[in-house]
Structure 1
Amino acid sequence: MSDWRIAGIPTAMGFLQMANWSLLMIGLQGIGGSVAYSLNGVVGLVCVYGISFSFFKERVSPIEKIGILVSIIAILLMTASLYANAP
């Protein structure tokens, strides 16, 4: 791995995470918590996989497809749980 990736990947992911939280804090005001949480999870998932695949130029392996699917299912289950327990 080249030197720029050692510092570049965590830096890029940190900036994307800050943008993600800024989106939640500013852009999603007035939206229910279950929707905001879901959007946060999806954006975070896209950031992690998008950055890693674009930096490493890898194809998605079967185990990573399973990981993405499990992450999406977990986000949907948490959304349903938050929505069901909302006052």
Structure 2
Amino acid sequence: MSIGDSSLHPVCVLGGGRFGHVYLCKSILNGVLEYVCVKRIQVRQPKLEIKMMDEIYIISQLKHPNIVRFIRAFVFESSINIVL
């Protein structure tokens, strides 16, 4: 399965719900292996996409040791992918 980024390699599905799934992925950037989670949300309605952009912005601004770190977000095959 392709997540939409050649540096992300899915390992397993951690969970899922009505709007999408969360995948555990291996991330290889600059020769460094790191495990990340990718929250993949299927976008079927334009209003949902606007809400997701708000969520992405809020998550990207949070910096705290008890909050999952936002890495980046990208769109692939009508889904919004949030790398955490």
- Same fold at TM > 0.5: no
More strand by share: 2
TM-score (norm. length: structure 2): 0.29
Larger Rg: 1
TM-score (norm. length: structure 1): 0.28
Structure with the bigger RCO (C-alpha within 8 Å, sep 6+) is 1
